[in-house]
Amino acid sequence: MTCLFARRLCLAATLALALPLAEPAGADTRPGLFDLVTPENILRRIGQAGIGALRSLVELQYDHILPDPAAGEIAVTGIVAWPDVPWDGVGCTLTADRVILSTAEPQNWDRLRLKLDAIGLSVSPGCIAPAPRAALAKAGINMLDIAQASLEVDYQLSTAAATVTLHLDLPKLAALDGRAHFSYLAANSARGPGADAIAAYLTDANLALTDQGGLKVARQFLPDVLKTPETAGASLAAALTEMIGAANGRADSAAGQDPDTTLTAEQQSFVTAAGRQFGRFLTEGGQIVVETALPESEVAIGSDFFDDPRAAFRELMPTVQPHQASDTPLIEAGLMRKVLDAAPDATDEMKLVVGTALLTGAGAPQSLAEGRAVLEPLAAAGNTEAALQLATALADSDPAAAYAQALAAAAAGESGASALLDGIEARLDTATILAAQAKLTPAAGPVSDAPFASIADLRGEALARMAGDLEPRSYPLAWFWASLAAAAGEPASASLRDEIDRKMRLHGPEAAAAWAAARAPMEKAALREWLARDLGRKFGPG
């Protein structure tokens, strides 16, 4: 009786617990926990948290938050903000059609990227200081419209190289573009107190101002001294001379020396170029660019770098030009047609220049199809620089084709090809990798005597084939040489051999099958060489 009662009690308890969990007939299906925790929802919550934090600084409204985890970005649309300004007036209102915060693609582990992009900005007059506001009002500009404003930091974890980019586009007025490249940028706290917090090595920097109609408006209000190239240039040169000279004097005083306001040769050269180009720009429009021309490949920028203006000018060598200097040539139509039409006098060098420009979009409009058509025959003929350009350009869009080119470029020692090879390989399946390697490195046939001189030489061959920066990378051939060295008693080679097997096995059944097919002829070849060369006797204790 007690047992029966207990069973009934247990059954009742079980039903009581289960019933609330059961869906009633005809009820709507409710999402589970993992349906709610999606990448989109996580990004949306992050965006909402950021908006909440921003509202502690400025009054803000928006329409929608649009996350895109695959692209690594989040967009906020329909933004209206009312920031405080330090002057009296009707108040400041900022609107933006869209603000996008984007990072590197989630699968790219070697890149950190942060870009803030605001599109369709409008700035009310109350946001502008009284003096420039009055000038804009005279020009008939009551609302400042900005088509795009962006700031981007692009950082490579492997090399610590960084690029900082700025863009500001004011339709019918002007555009401002800035860029700085650092060969190394990283925290520097390990050097102890008193050292710079950041280690920064600048390779180049520039800032370009392009007239988009604003000068035509401004000339109506410029003083007469700024209306001719000669007087405008002289006026700016005089102002710069006074400003830089005063900075020299302050640096001398800080160092306990008598102040000397004389300009150095580098400073005077900058002033002369700035005056000449400023006069031209004010009267002719176009573009004016301030950029560095470093005497060395890079310069260390510390917290006290600009304390000595003479040294700063000497190391940066800033100059002012009518257009941006570029290491990338702009391809003229004649050269382009000669290469694309396969003219008999089109040299390999011409093809490399034009093909690279087409692949990268620097110096010519980007066209992957045309670039490949130009460079693939060069690469097939053994031009490894063309192979590297192809591998770099196709790594995202066609990784299988890029991998074959990267194999050849890395084996030839092209700078950066080995790292590129590893990056592309991470995007391919094992069968594709082994097939590409087999095309460049056929199955082991007759081999030379040199690698059999010692066990160390056998191991060296295995490592070279594994790395792919002395010989074309081939996992089967790496296994072949490692197997021979391991058979002779070399433990490191045994570890390498087993590690290759393990890597292939852990990539799944399809990878294991592809590896078994590629490994089988290597087993036969290794046994053949062992017997034919009597390596047991050669490397044995006798």
> What mean pLDDT value characterizes the chain?
86
Whole-angstrom distance, CA of residue 364 vs CA of residue 333? 10
Residues 6+ apart with CB under 8 A from 154: 111, 112, 113, 162, 163, 164, 165
Q: Alpha carbon 112 to chain centroid distance?
A: 8
User: What is the mean predicted confidence (pLDDT) over 47-60?
Assistant: 80
Q: Hey, what are 510's tokens?
A: 């399809």
CA atoms within 13 A on the CB side of 427: 17
Q: Which residue has the tokens 């007469």?
A: 224
Element (H, E) at 507: none
CB 375 within 8 A of CB 357: no
Instruction: Give the closest residue to 124 by CA, choosing from 80, 173, 86.
Output: 80
First to last CA, the chain: 87
pLDDT in tens, 257-315: 999 999 999 999 999 999 999 999 988 889 999 999 888 889 999 888 899 999 999 99
CB 196 within 8 A of CB 229: no
SS3 259: coil
Residue 537 has pLDDT above 60, yes or no: yes
Q: Hey, what are 151's tokens?
A: 């700031």
Whole-angstrom distance, CA of residue 409 vs CA of residue 470? 10
The whole-number pLDDT of residue 35 equals 60
Strand-strand pairing, 299-300 and 287-291: unpaired
Whole-angstrom distance, CA of residue 431 vs CA of residue 438? 10
pLDDT in tens, 177-198: 999 999 999 887 655 555 667 8
Whole-angstrom distance, CA of residue 100 vs CA of residue 79? 11
CB 506 within 8 A of CB 455: no
Rounded to the nearest 5 degrees, what angle is found at the Cα of 450, between the Cα atoms of 449 and 456?
120
Residue 7 has pLDDT above 60, yes or no: no
CB 472 within 8 A of CB 411: yes
Instruction: Give the closest residue to 115 by CA, choosing from 73, 157, 57.
Output: 73
Q: What is the total residue count of the chain?
A: 542
Q: How confident is the model at residue 132 (pLDDT cuts 50, 70, 90)?
A: confident
Q: How confident is the model at residue 1 (pLDDT cuts 50, 70, 90)?
A: very low
Residue 20 has pLDDT above 70, yes or no: no
Q: Hey, what are 166's tokens?
A: 């700025």
CB 81 within 8 A of CB 58: yes
Q: How is 49-68 classified by DSSP, letter by letter?
A: HHHHHHTTTSEEE-SEEEEE
CB 386 within 8 A of CB 375: yes
Q: Hey, what are 521's tokens?
A: 């002829």
Residue 103 burial by Cβ neighbours in a 10 Å radius (0-12, 13-18, 19+):
middle
Least confident of 370-379, 413-422, 482-491, 532-541: 413-422
